[in-house]
Chain A
Amino acid sequence: MTKKSLLFLGPFILLNSAVILAALFKTIQVSLGYYPVIGLRHYTLAYFKTVLGDAAFQRTIGYSLYLALVATILALVLGLGMAFILLKASAKHPLLANFFKIPIALPHIIVALMMLQVLSQSGLISRLLYQVGVLQQIDQFPLLIHDKGGIGIICVFLYKEIPYVAVSTLAILKQLQLGYVQVAANLGASPRQIFGRVILPMVQPILATLFIILFCFTFTSFEVPFILGSPAQETIAVTAYNLLTQADLTVRPTAFALNFIMSLICLAVTLLVLGISARLPGGGRRHREKN
């Protein structure tokens, strides 16, 4: 690589590696109990044991996994479905198609607020049901916000991510639509075969990439569960936030151990999904270099 290339890449590599390496180094150091600010100088695995052994922490991790998996899988399925609809309909209704993409640009905090206004017990849906006579009292409306099922949280992610998945997969569907599908149909493939042998291999790499991005984001998202989450059941990022905003510095090593564990889970899921995707039909074609 030439000197000029290095100069051009330098700032990117410097910023990214400084942030990531510093984070990694500090996380490992503090979580292993080296935190001289409060007089801790002895390396220990105690904080990891605390996090992994404590039932509350375990529940937190499990609950975050549940939310992330449900939101991600639903977003992928519904987003891919919407992509197929946009594929045909966006030429006829460009205005609607563009309107549908608006949530991608909305910040999570605002979407969380909107879900509060729509889904809470005093929200719009509850009012609507009251007006048509389904509800006689406000508290007959099911708890969708601050609930243990995390319905509100999942709705926020779906609101933002279904359009995101649709837009991302649409580009690939557009390429494949006319060419390959027609060739396959012409060669006598059934619709099911076309989906399994032509469409899936072509979209699975992008679906895998989207799964990774969405899972890692929702699993460790802070703002949405902070606003909509159940007080009885925290998510992993909210727990970390609460620990890290305490004045009591002695909880920091535990918080950093939690940080480390959630980072590892994200990396592990990433490698797992990449590995699975590479072995599925169409996986070998991922990142085929264009010349």
Chain B
Amino acid sequence: MKRTSTLLLACFLVALPLVVLLLWTVATQWLYPALIPQQFGGKVLGQMLQEPNFWPAVLNSFVIALATTVVTLLIAMPACKVLASQHFISQQLLTFMIYLPFILPAIAIVTSTQILFIQWHLTGTFTGIILSHTYFTLPYAMQIILESYRKMGQGYALTAKSLGAKPWQILKTITWPLMAPGIATAAGLTFIVSLSQYLPTFFIGGGKIMTLPLILLPYANNGRFNLASAYSLVFLLVTMIGVLLLKQLIGGRHHGARN
């Protein structure tokens, strides 16, 4: 069938570069014009593990992304709760407000707020990096959580409140379990986006705090395919671990909400 073959072709185009990337991580020799490496081995991976920046970068990336996810959820959840049911701001203005970080150029925002972060002594600190990441991850998280709140409706929380539940009881027993799938998606996406950030980490971190993108970019730029691929693989592993961990932590429910 035509549709199936188009989908197959699309998936092939998605898969091809990924396979090449994986091959480069295990290739010790891959000279032109060979289609597959002449020699395979774990030399590249070993070399990467020997790098002094490897473990700090992995840990820093993971910690920053996890903390950014927590901060993002802490900011996005209450804001979306209000925004999902408010009558005060027009829907258009609200969308514009939330999406503004998508519109404004990251490089302009990062380099100009850098001056402010310097004044607040936040450059070169984890706090500074996490805050700047949070600015970039909020639109992703809020988009999903807002939709989650709207889909859930206000009825469950209102009912629970009328039945005498306190706000934290409502959050724990109603809102969180019912929105868990949405929250997990938002958290996973936030984690991925934070992990991929280069500019804010570079400018706000001031080069003092090493993360995976900060190592990866120069290697990719200098055509060091082996090492860059190996780091990419680690990057993808960290992403998967983080996303699965968040999903596990956030939990879920066995019975569906109203459709």
Do A93 and B4 touch (CB < 8 A)? Answer: yes
Q: Which among A23, A102, A287 is the interface contact of B108 at CB below 8 angstroms?
A: A23
Task: Return chain B residues, CB-CB under 8 Å to A260.
Answer: 108
Q: Which among B8, B103, B116, B235 is the interface contact of A26 at CB below 8 angstroms?
A: B116
Do A15 and B91 touch (CB < 8 A)? Answer: no
B125 close to chain A: CB less than 8 A:
no
Do B79 and A8 touch (CB < 8 A)? Answer: yes
A248 close to chain B: CB less than 8 A:
no
Do B14 and A99 touch (CB < 8 A)? Answer: yes
Report how far A99 CA is from B104 CA in the complex, Å: 31
A230 close to chain B: CB less than 8 A:
no
Do A115 and B138 touch (CB < 8 A)? Answer: no
Smallest CB separation, A291 vs chain B (Å): 9
Do A100 and B108 touch (CB < 8 A)? Answer: no
A residues 1-56 near B (Cβ < 8 Å) are: 1, 5, 7-9, 11-13, 15-16, 18-20, 22-24, 26-27, 30
A241 close to chain B: CB less than 8 A:
yes
Smallest CB separation, A269 vs chain B (Å): 9
Do A15 and B111 touch (CB < 8 A)? Answer: no
B49 close to chain A: CB less than 8 A:
no
Report how far A226 CA is from B199 CA in the complex, Å: 12
Smallest CB separation, B94 vs chain A (Å): 8
Binds A, one of B50-58, B174-182, B217-225, B251-259: B217-225
Do A110 and B105 touch (CB < 8 A)? Answer: no
Do A216 and B105 touch (CB < 8 A)? Answer: yes
Q: Which among B13, B101, B196 is the interface contact of A16 at CB below 8 angstroms?
A: B101
Binds B, one of A123-131, A172-180, A182-190: A123-131
Do B33 and A126 touch (CB < 8 A)? Answer: yes
Do A131 and B33 touch (CB < 8 A)? Answer: yes
Do A240 and B33 touch (CB < 8 A)? Answer: no
A residues 73-88 near B (Cβ < 8 Å) are: 82, 85-86, 88
Do A222 and B198 touch (CB < 8 A)? Answer: yes
Task: Return chain B residues, CB-CB under 8 Å to A131.
Answer: 33, 35
Report how far A1 CA is from B94 CA in the complex, Å: 15
Q: Flag B16-51 by CB within 8 Å of A: 1 or 0 each.
A: 111011001000000011110000000000000000
Do A223 and B217 touch (CB < 8 A)? Answer: yes
Do A220 and B106 touch (CB < 8 A)? Answer: yes
B60 close to chain A: CB less than 8 A:
no
B92 close to chain A: CB less than 8 A:
yes
Do A89 and B111 touch (CB < 8 A)? Answer: no
Give the residue name and chain of the B residue nearest to A261 (CB).
B108
A259 close to chain B: CB less than 8 A:
yes
Q: Which among A103, A107, A118, A288 is the interface contact of B213 at CB below 8 angstroms?
A: A107
5 pairs of A and B residues whose beta carbons are closest in the complex: A107-B196, A220-B105, A114-B17, A259-B108, A8-B78
The 17 sampled A-B contact pairs (Cβ below 8 Å) are: A9-B78, A9-B79, A11-B75, A16-B138, A19-B109, A19-B132, A22-B112, A86-B7, A109-B216, A113-B229, A116-B220, A117-B17, A127-B35, A159-B14, A240-B111, A244-B203, A259-B108
Q: Which residues of B contact A (CB under 8 A)?
A: 3-4, 6-8, 10-11, 13-18, 20-21, 24, 32-35, 74-76, 78-79, 81-83, 86, 88, 90-92, 95, 97, 99-109, 111-113, 115-116, 131-132, 134-135, 138, 142, 150, 192, 195-196, 198-199, 203, 213, 216-217, 220-221, 223, 225, 228-229, 232, 235-236, 239
